Structure 1
Amino acid sequence: MLTGAPDGDTRHVFAGDELLRRWCAAVELGALGCGAAALIALSELTVDARRAGDGPLAALATTTAASLYRQSGRHRDARALDSRGLAFVDAAGAPSRHGVPMWNRAALADTLVNLAADNLGLLRFGVSHRLLERADVVLGRPDDLGEGPWLSEARCRLRLLWVRAEWALYTDNAEHALEVAERAQAQLAARADRGTERHRIKTGLVLAAARAGAGATEQARLDAAALRDQAAEGGLLPLCWAASSLLQGLGDSPDSGPVGSVSSTGMSVNDLHRLLVARGMPFVTSANDR
């Protein structure tokens, strides 16, 4: 069964940061697969952030909604939302209530990384690479995640590493993808707070995919199965579905676990997909949605 709740980012937010807390709560709804509730919360937050003159937070809310569309395979819709988010952060001008350059930089970096992922899904590899380079410059071309604030710094740098690894996989450079993914996992483990559970699982999934691309299929299968179970235990339905989908791509039956029996989640990849749809995740319904 899917149990628990994610150990979310709210522990990284000061009690007085009400809009930031609402953003973190919406992110956690999405992490649980409650797509409809998350999208409503993010839409309302975008409106309230703009009314408060907080362009960076409006951008973060908008690009988080875009991430839910991208996770559901709707890369064009995600790109449209991310482009809107970029306009919010570019138009912000005045300092955010939460402190610029920190939050302005975080919003800009997230938006650029998201746009890179959108364009990667649309097979626009050159555009994606240029956006990753821009994000790298915004974040100061970091060599590691560092011990700075999680939400506004290390998280952004980790997401950049994810998409860099994915870009390498898409462009047939599995060895580089593996190097980037291994570096991301090592640096996340080295942080005192170790990020959040969902970031640890997502980092592990990127590494498993990179291992599969580099030919280490059995290790990738073992990793993906363990990560699927961790995601199920934490109630992280989208990550559970992603891990199950990776296992299916590695040759497992869509209705079974890695050794031919029903998976420990008690749900097949098709069951997980149906549950996500029921919870309002905006999956593609036609080729036009892509």
Structure 2
Amino acid sequence: MDADSKEDNVTFNQLSFDNPAERFSDMKPQAQHQRFPGSDADLTPPADHGETSYRGTGRLTGRKALITGGDSGIGAAVAIAFAREGADVAINYLEAERADAERIGGLIESEGRKAVLLPGDLRERETSRRLVADTVEALGGLDILVNNAGNQVYQKDFREFDEEELDKTLRTNIDAMFWLTKDALARMGPGSTIINTTSVQAYKPSPILIDYASTKYAINGFTKGLAMQLAAEGIRVNAVAPGPIWTPLQVTEGQPPEKVEQFGENTALGRMGQPVELAPAYVFLASPESSYVVGETINVNGGLPTP
């Protein structure tokens, strides 16, 4: 090896790379419980939504997005990323989540983008009509829809299944997605994108999350079928499938309290994921960079095997 090659090799080896297995190693999940719908502000440890780490490059300049569940968790990380990529963003949330929503709205506005806060229960049909109308009025259009809001409550024994909770999960995860997408399509044109949040549960269902896993499997089918119908119109539909991500969903009956401390240890990386680690997948699917990606699902799950 000549001197120049040796010097180059030393320089390369001295570079500091982010080890994904050790990233967020100081953020260990702690057993805790919050009342539904939960709050990011009360999550211990706090989740990372990219507040200080996500850097935009203008990939969504001039775009106008509506994100359900945009006040916390994955939706909040996507809202921050979209704003830093140049998009104006409307976020939907439950009234009880207003404090989280206002914080995310402030972060969007700090990027010089317009933030629209739209409270409303997606289980009510009229909510989706209002969300779309208010988004279009406030932002001047709508060309990115992120169907992200979801309900997840564990049930250890199927024989004791709570039928009211089943109805809540189906209406939040499935009905609302159908309604909102239908209403949004009336305002969308070529170049628009729809991104649905599915889950690793669609491929590897937990026995205590049967209803939730069933809805996520259905979202996969919805995504592929609608994508085939709309592709010729220039509207792309895709999905992102998160693995174990640290959000208030996990501590509001999403997981048994005794399992929270081991949350994410079954992944190849051996840890839970943070919402910020999902944001780039949504940005990619929303941007022209993914113009030839149709009906696909990006798995962001720390290495859990999927079909």
Structure with more of its chain in strand, by fraction:
2
- Please say which structure displays the higher CA radius of gyration: 2
Q: State the TM-score, normalizing by the size of structure 2.
A: 0.29
